[in-house]
Amino acid sequence: MAKSVALPFDPIARAADIWRSRWGARSEPAAMASATSIMRAHQLLLGDFDAIVGRQGLTFARYEALVLLAFSRQGRLPMSKIGQRLMVHPTSVTNIVQRLLRQGLVERNPNPADGRGMLATITPLGREVMEAATRDLVAAGFSLGALTAREHEQLFALLRKVRVAAGDFLG
């Protein structure tokens, strides 16, 4: 993915100034700027992550699915649980798993505990590819090398607070 040319100013800070002048300080310009910054950082990180794991023939969504399977006790999970954990629609899970299946990185088998459900199981090749992609992400500092260890902890704590408030999990 081609990087865009860096602007000579921060467009989100400028938008916050315009927001404040148009709707006033009570219109939450700082909250708007924070939310927009999170969304922009997400776009930047996802672009970097897709490029990094792309060296292993993955997208970040497929990488996440492999990691999830590798973290499970038996290397397999029901498709429905994959969707819940990755917070994606069942159709997206099916698409992700089908692509991993075509690459030989997972297998799909009937779930013996649920006659209608399917299990996705990571293959040895899937583990190798996932480990290689993980090494690449770690080497890239997860594209967050501009932050110190303390700043990583602070950012995680702040975003965790937002996630708890949104009902992502019980805090």
Look at the block and give the residue holding tokens 């497929």. Answer: 62
- Each residue's pLDDT tens digit, 1-57: 456 789 999 999 999 999 999 999 999 999 999 999 999 999 999 999 999 999 999
Widest distance between CA atoms in the chain = 61
Least Cα distance to 32 among 45, 15, 49, 48 occurs for 15
Report the SS3 class of residue 110: strand
This prediction has a pTM of: 0.88
User: Which two structure tokens, joined as six digits, stand for 106?
Assistant: 């997972």
Higher confidence at residue 116 or residue 142?
Answer: 142
Burial call 47-68: b when 16+ CB within 10 Å, e when fewer: bbbbebbeebebebbbbbbbbb
Q: 159: which residues sit within 8 A by CB, 6+ positions away?
A: 38
| pLDDT score at 16 | 95
- Mapped to the 3 state alphabet, what secondary structure does 23-45 carry? HCHHHCHHHHHHHHHHHHHHHHH
User: Which two structure tokens, joined as six digits, stand for 74?
Assistant: 């038996």
Mean pLDDT calculated for residue range 76-82:
95
Q: Taking all residues of the chain, what is their mean pLDDT, rounded to a whole number?
A: 94
- CA–CA separation, 168 and 57 (whole Å): 30
- CA–CA separation, 59 and 51 (whole Å): 8
Please count the other Cβ atoms lying within 10 Å of the Cβ belonging to residue 36.
16
